[in-house]
Amino acid sequence: MARLDLDGKEIAPITICLIGGAGFIGSHLCELLMAHTHHSAIVIDVSSDKITHLLEKSCSWSNRIEFHKINIKNDSRLETLIKSSDLTINLAAICTPADYNTRPLDTIYSNFLDAIPVVKYCTESNKRLIHFSTCEVYGKTIGSFLPADHSLRQDPNFYILKEDVSPCIFGPLEKQRWSYACAKQMIERLIYAEGDEHGLKFTIVRPFNWIGPRMDFIPGIDGPTEGVPRVLACFSNVICGPIM
């Protein structure tokens, strides 16, 4: 059955370049694209472990998906693959909280510097970019920053974040945990500037905490046996059964 746009017109198949398309979110997006659209996917990632079931020649969509094992830090093929696609979706990132403190340089490179060429190639080829960012670009609320005994700390208005007017409050430089949020906001600012000055067409997605199969990581299943991801630690009181 053909998919229709908001005007009721049939959506023509396109080729989508999925950078980080074999990760937690990307693998599920690939599944939906293959199962529910006629689009083709060029998947770029450092591993295909999470999408091996999509790459089997027996799949009905095997002629619509291709995988390229590429580290976008240093591979010249990236430019060609982006410019040969109709749309680029960038999901590549280090987004495990434990890494923000222990690998701050890798976190900054992955979420900011490594993404710069992606933005550049999309601008040069006049291709739309859908960039996956994070809710952490909003920073801390004014209320959470106030001293515990401050009279305004109980005012609910100081715990509301309004995208276009709220000040951006991050932690101090010595708190490496904020390297992720800062890097993500910097790449957002670059994307916005490219759109403003050079006409880049873009969409920015800011996920909050997502939980599901193939996430990085479910202890003992899809990651190390030791340790608990922050998202599970924060929501463990509402998880009633095993993640399937």
CA distance 14 to 127: 12
CA distance 126 to 146: 45
The reply to whether 180 belongs to the active site is yes
Q: Which of 141, 133, 136, 139 is nearest to 190 (CA)?
A: 133
Which neighbouring-strand residues pair with 61? none
Cis (ω within 30 of 0) for the bond into 145? no
Confirm if 90 and 118 have CB atoms less than 8 A apart. Answer: yes
CA distance 83 to 63: 20
82, exposed or middle or buried, with CB in 10 Å at 0-12, 13-18, 19+? buried
Radius of gyration for the alpha carbons in the chain, expressed in angstroms and rounded = 20
CA distance 29 to 32: 5
Q: Hey, what are 32's tokens?
A: 């939906």
Task: Considering the candidates 100, 109, 159, 180, report the single residue annotated as catalytic.
Answer: 180
Query: Which strand (E) or helix (H) includes residue 31?
Result: helix 24-36
Catalytic residue ranges: 180
